[in-house]
Amino acid sequence: MSGQKKVIVCGGGVIGSSIGYYLTKKGAAVTLIERCEIACGASGKAGGFLAKDWSDSNPSLGKLSRKSFDLHVELSKTLKKDVGFRFLDTKSIVVSESPKKKQDLPDWVDGPIRSQSDIGSNKTTAQVHPHLFTHALVEAAKENGLKVHIGVVENIIWEGQVAKGVKLFGSDQIMEADAIVIAMGPWSHLAHQFLPDNVKKIFPLNDIIYGHKAHSIILDPKDKNKITAHALFADYLKTDPEIYPRPDGTVYICGKAETVELPEDPSKIVPKDEHCDFLVKFAGVVSSELLNAQVKVKQACYLPCSIGDGQPMIGAVPETKGLYIATGHSCWGILNAPATGLLLSEVIMEEKCSLNIDAFSPSRWVSRKLKK
């Protein structure tokens, strides 16, 4: 179709896939370039917990999260593939060595819990399966013409300050575009080298975005029917692991975060055994149903974080035309992906936005002194 806007989205995590999904719905011709495979990073290894109102203390983020939560509910009905969506009750628990007192907890949570409180209801907290969700977005977008290209973005081609295309490693061919989106999660800092020199000077992307490593395990309990739809946020031995039982009967547990160097190649990320073993032990302390569960997966991935206010970066790259970025969603990227995708697609296709996203503008870092 002539006159169709050509957009290249760099990065096939949940953010890039969501952007691709909404752009294709608005009629753009989108190519999604992914280095390894769709959802190979945090987007395939996250918990997938969704909270409608937990960010309300920050008005801008609160509005983004509420919108995104509602979009998740809508997508769970409209996407053709099952994305593991369900509403959950959510509790915080303090796990201790002290003897168990009777607590208002589901039967399977029978370990030494010193205290508990309700922190989310099955109206305001929910979950998706992040890997299934990201793939479902891509599959739906393919029906609207999305093309997925496996390759490594090496550079952006410029005419002055206007982004004109993308060059991939190992190819001389330039992929031309009317707009380009960087959605490379924690690897988005590498896009600093793609910027024109004058932009590099005022917008030090390489120092703004960084990765924070976290571990997770997936357990397969014998008696799946006993595990109810309760998410648990724990306080255990000065750590704060989280437990998310999934609709398929498996139980996802994450925690043990640390700031360590991010390998350039996502396939080179390896979990630390001691951190995964800690999560296995924690599961057995919290629940006798989880004590002898089969450990199906031990894994690690990196949260995409931003320095300063720690909020996402969504919008046009300063002093450029045709280049956009969406990253830095930290521990709420699965939740906030649909709204990020929808709103950025509005900016790119309609030059307007149904929610004010100025608070997430990349320009808030321009010429600022950066402190980690």
The residues of the shown chain that bind ligand FAD, judged by CB under 6 A, are 10-16, 33-36, 40-43, 46-49, 152-153, 183-187, 214, 216, 254, 266, 301, 303-304, 327, 329-335
Q: Where are the alpha helices (DSSP H) in the chain?
A: 14-25, 42-45, 59-78, 130-143, 197-202, 205-208, 273-286, 288-291, 333-350
The per-type count for the chain, helices as H runs and strands as E runs, is 9, 19
Of residues 10 and 180, the one with the C-beta less far from ligand FAD: 10
Smallest separation (angstroms) from ligand FAD to the CB of 204? 18
Nearest approach, Cβ of residue 152 and ligand FAD (Å) = 5
Q: How far is the CB of 144 from ligand FAD (least distance, A)?
A: 20
CB 89 within 8 A of CB 116: no
- Where would I find the H helices in 110-167? 130-143
The least distance separating ligand FAD from the CB of residue 100, rounded to whole angstroms, comes to: 27
Residues 6+ apart with CB under 8 A from 19: 9, 181, 183, 326, 340, 341, 344, 345
Which residue number, 293 or 303, has a Cβ lying nearer to ligand FAD? Answer: 303
Residue at shortest CB range from ligand FAD: 333
16 versus 318: smaller Cβ distance to ligand FAD: 16
CB atoms within 10 A of CB 155: 14
Three-state SS at 49: strand
Instruction: Give the nearer residue to ligand FAD in terms of CB position, either 185 or 362.
Output: 185
User: Residue 370 and residue 278: Cα distance in Å, rounded?
Assistant: 35
CB of 273 to ligand FAD, least distance (A): 16
Closest separation in Å from C-beta 98 to ligand FAD = 29
Pick between residue 12 and residue 204 the one whose CB is nearest to ligand FAD. 12
Secondary structure letter of residue 362 according to DSSP: G
Distance CA 283, CA 356 (A): 41
Least separation in angstroms between CB 269 and ligand FAD: 10
Cβ density class 264-292: b for 16+ within 10 Å, e for less? eebeebebeeebbebbbebbbbbbebbbe
Query: In this complex, which beta carbon is closest to ligand FAD, that of residue 2 or of residue 11?
Result: 11
